[in-house]
A and B are shown apart, each in its own frame.
Chain A
Amino acid sequence: MGEPLLRVQRLFKSFGGVSATDDLSLDVLPGEIHALIGPNGAGKTTFIGQLMGEIEPDSGAMFFDGAGIGGLSTPKRVRRGIARTFQITQLLSDQTALDNVALAVQAGQGHSFRFLKSAANDFSLRSPAREYLDVAGLGGRADVRVSQLSHGERKQLELAVALATKPRLLLLDEPMAGLGASESRAMVAALKRMKGGISILLVEHDMDAVFALADRISVLVYGRIIASGAPADIQADAQVRAAYLGEGES
Chain B
Amino acid sequence: MDDPSKKSGFAPRKNVRSVLLVALALVLLAVLPQLAELFDQPAMVSLATRIVILAIAAASLNLALGYCGLVSFGHAAWYGIGGYVVGILYKHYVSGDPLFGLPLGTDQMLITLPVAILVSGLFAAVFGALSLRTSGVQFIMITLAFAQMIFFFFVALKAYGGDDGLIVRRRNILPLIDARDGATFYWVCLFIAIAWFALLRRIVGSRFGAVLAGVRQSERRMAAIGVSTYRYKLAVFVISGMGAGLAGALMANHARFVSPDMLHWTQSGEFMIMVILGGAGTLLGPAAGAAVLILLETQLAAFTEHWQVILGPLLVLMILFTRGGLSGLLKLLRGGSNG
Contacts and interface: CB of A to CB of B under 8 A. Distances in A.
Interface of A: 52, 54, 73-76, 78-79, 83-84, 86, 90-96, 99, 102-104, 106-108, 112-120, 122, 145, 147-148, 161-162, 164-165
A92 B225 contact: no
A52 B232 contact: no
Contacts of A108: 225-226
A76 B6 CA distance: 30
B214 A103 contact: yes
7 contacts: A78-B224, A92-B8, A104-B225, A112-B227, A116-B202, A117-B207, A165-B226
Interface in B222-239: 222-228, 232, 235
A74 B224 contact: yes
Given A75-B223, A102-B210, A119-B205, 9 more contacts: A78-B223, A78-B225, A93-B217, A96-B11, A99-B8, A107-B227, A108-B226, A117-B207, A162-B224
A237 to B, nearest CB: 34
A102 B222 CA distance: 12
A107 B226 contact: yes
Contacts of B227: 75, 107, 112
Summarize A's interface: helix, strand, loop or mixed: mixed
A94 B6 CA distance: 7
Nearest to A95: B8
Contact of B225 (A73, A122, A164): A164
A65 B7 CA distance: 41
Contacts of A164: 225
Interface string B1-15: 011101111111000
B272 to A, nearest CB: 21
A95 B202 contact: no
Contacts of A86: 220, 224
Given A74-B223, A107-B225, A145-B339, A119 B6 contact: no
Interface string B253-275: 00000000000000000000000
A116 B226 contact: no
A112 B226 contact: no
Interface of B: 2-4, 6-12, 202-203, 205-211, 213-214, 217-218, 220-228, 232, 235, 338-339
B323 to A, nearest CB: 14
B226 A79 contact: yes
Given A84-B224, A114-B206, A114-B208, A94 B8 contact: yes
Contacts of A96: 10-11
Please list the 8 inter-chain residue pairs (A to B) with the smallest Cβ-Cβ separation, ordered nearest first.
Answer: A78-B226, A74-B223, A104-B225, A120-B11, A92-B217, A114-B207, A112-B207, A90-B221
B224 A115 contact: no
A85 to B, nearest CB: 9
Contacts of A78: 223-226
Contacts of A79: 226
Nearest to A108: B226
Nearest to A116: B202
Given A95-B213, A113-B235, A115-B202, A52 B224 contact: yes
